[in-house]
């Protein structure tokens, strides 16, 4: 496996699941990291220096030498292609399409379901709790059926960045009052991710069903 000449700088917020996606994958790949905490409450993400890295003013951002990559899913693609084994992002069209499907889920149904539910409890964001919790369960019903027939989100015997992209907010869904108890296949999948060498957890928040 290739390694960078110097540690990859990770601009993060430790309780952000989007940040954790990047940090988790960096850890799974065993890459050297210089973690830089972004003061979101103080507005650092809106500073000119930060906006020069990510015009949307969001975490995470990585800097790998002269290369700057913003957006958690884009970071996963970059790291997989530059440093990861082939299984993380398949080359074949069908495999690549399956990964993209789940990256879209991570940016869509996960973001507006379990992620949004957690934003209500942990960060006091103004979402309709009943709506986003119901959306999370609709997603989980689909994922439960798919994961009942295979170990990873994409068919095959090895994980892909699809698993990394979707893991964090689903694992922490109980913090947003979304129960995982009805979903044994999802819970087994989460446990498989957590058993991967180099797994790095996001700090837990004792709130919601996780209180």
CA angle 12, 190, 8 (to 5 degrees): 25
CATH superfamily of the domain spanning 8-83: Glutaredoxin (3.40.30.10)
Copy the structure tokens of residue 62. 């990585």
**54 Ramachandran zone, left/alpha/beta (phi>0; psi -120 to 50):** beta
60: closest CA among 92, 13, 119, 114?
Answer: 13
Q: pLDDT tens digit string along 108-143?
A: 999 999 999 999 999 998 899 999 999 999 999 999
At residue 1 the predicted structure's pLDDT band, cuts being 50, 70 and 90, is: low
For 3-8, what is the mean pLDDT? 92
Predicted pLDDT at 42: 87
> What's the rounded mean pLDDT across residues 137-159?
97
Q: How far is CA 115 from CA 32, 81, 99, 210, in A?
A: 28, 27, 20, 15
- Please report the pLDDT score of residue 41 as a whole number: 81
* CATH number belonging to domain 86-210: 1.20.1050.10
The residue extents of the domains of the chain are 8-83, 86-210
Residue that the structure tokens 């002269």 belong to: 66
Q: Which of 149, 144, 134 is nearest to 181 (CA)?
A: 144
Nearest-angstrom CA–CA distance, 76 and 97: 15
76-87 confidence digits (pLDDT tens): 999 999 999 999
The model's pTM: 0.96
């Amino acid at each position: 496996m290739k390694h960078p000449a110097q540690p990859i700088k990770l601009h993060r917020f430790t309780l952000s699941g989007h940040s954790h996606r990047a940090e988790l994958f960096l850890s799974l790949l065993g890459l050297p990291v210089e973690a830089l905490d972004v003061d979101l409450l103080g507005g650092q993400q809106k500073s000119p220096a930060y906006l020069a890295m990510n015009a949307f003013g969001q975490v995470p951002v990585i800097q790998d030498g002269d290369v700057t990559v913003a957006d958690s899913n884009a970071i996963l693609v970059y790291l997989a292609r530059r440093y990861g084994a082939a299984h993380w992002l398949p080359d074949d069209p069908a495999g690549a399409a399956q990964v993209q499907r789940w990256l879209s889920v991570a940016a869509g149904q996960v973001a507006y379901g379990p992620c949004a539910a957690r934003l209500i409890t942990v960060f006091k964001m103004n979402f309709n709790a009943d709506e986003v919790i119901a959306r999370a369960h609709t997603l989980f019903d689909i994922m439960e059926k798919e994961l009942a027939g295979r170990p990873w989100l994409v068919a095959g015997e090895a994980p892909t960045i699809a698993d990394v992209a979707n893991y964090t907010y689903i694992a922490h869904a109980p913090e947003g009052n979304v129960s995982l108890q009805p979903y044994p296949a999802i819970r087994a999948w989460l446990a498989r991710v957590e058993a991967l060498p180099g797994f790095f957890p996001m700090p837990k928040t004792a709130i919601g069903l996780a209180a």
